[in-house]
Structure 1
Amino acid sequence: MDLLVTVKEVKGHCPVHKVGDSFTLKACYQLVSEIPVCMHGLASLMPWYNALRVSEPADWGLDGKEDKTKAYVQCPDVCQYTGGGTVVYEISKVR
């Protein structure tokens, strides 16, 4: 099972990602990307990538309002205080 991670939203200014950027977690442990991936953003995905491989986003309270098959996590940058940007990632299973 692979996970497709897509940048859904950027609040503030992220120096790495823009809306629409994506990368794959192949077999849920191999990062595959043609673009740079922010380590802060990757850290926000780490607690969830294995769980999402074998269960549904709703099991963890990560499901979206419109599409229950997708999970959402946010990077930890508190942009209103740091002047940076926080990114919301949308995570989809790819079979």
Structure 2
Amino acid sequence: MSYEVVVRVKEVRGRCAAGYSEGDSFSIIGFCVEGRVCIHALSSMLTLLSPFLKGIKAELLGIGSGDLGYVQCPDPGPPYTCGGTVIFELERKLKNF
């Protein structure tokens, strides 16, 4: 079985330095990223993506339930940085190759 993880911007708190807006998305298929991705955002989810792509449920990873998980960008926002933090929804979908 192969999975795709669609990563969607669920919420932006402050101003995203990478320019993400609510509803923006990118996909992870196997070892490849499709779409525009911020390396800081990717860093927040890297350790979770491999097991999630292999079928481990979100609740076992401590990020949600079933095929939906949530992670947060590490940018703390004001008064510490000029950016802001972004909440991402990770939706795992069965991928037919």
- Give the TM-score range, shorter chain: 0.7 to 0.9
Offset, 1:15:
2.8
User: Could you state the TM-score of these two structures normalised by the residue count of structure 2?
Assistant: 0.85
1:62 and 2:63 correspond? yes
Q: Paired residue for 1:91?
A: 90
Aligned residues: 89
Work out which of the residue numbers 19, 24, 34 in structure 2 matches 1:32: 34
Calculate percent identity across the aligned residue pairs: 34
Structure 1 residues 18-76: Cα deviation after superposition (integer angstroms, max 9, x where no partner): 1100000012x10011xx32110011111100111221000011006xxx431000010
- The Cα RMSD (Å) is 1.3
| Structure showing greater Rg | 2
Offset, 1:85:
1.1
User: Could you state the TM-score of these two structures normalised by the residue count of structure 1?
Assistant: 0.86
Offset, 1:83:
2.3
Q: Which has the higher strand share?
A: 2
Q: After TM superposition, what 4+ stretches of structure 1 lie above 3 angstroms from structure 2?
A: none
- Structure 2 gaps of 5+ residues are none
Q: 1:1-95 maps to which residues of 2 (within 5 A)? A: 1-16=3-18, 17-27=20-30, 29-33=31-35, 36-53=36-53, 54-63=55-64, 68-80=66-78, 81-95=80-94
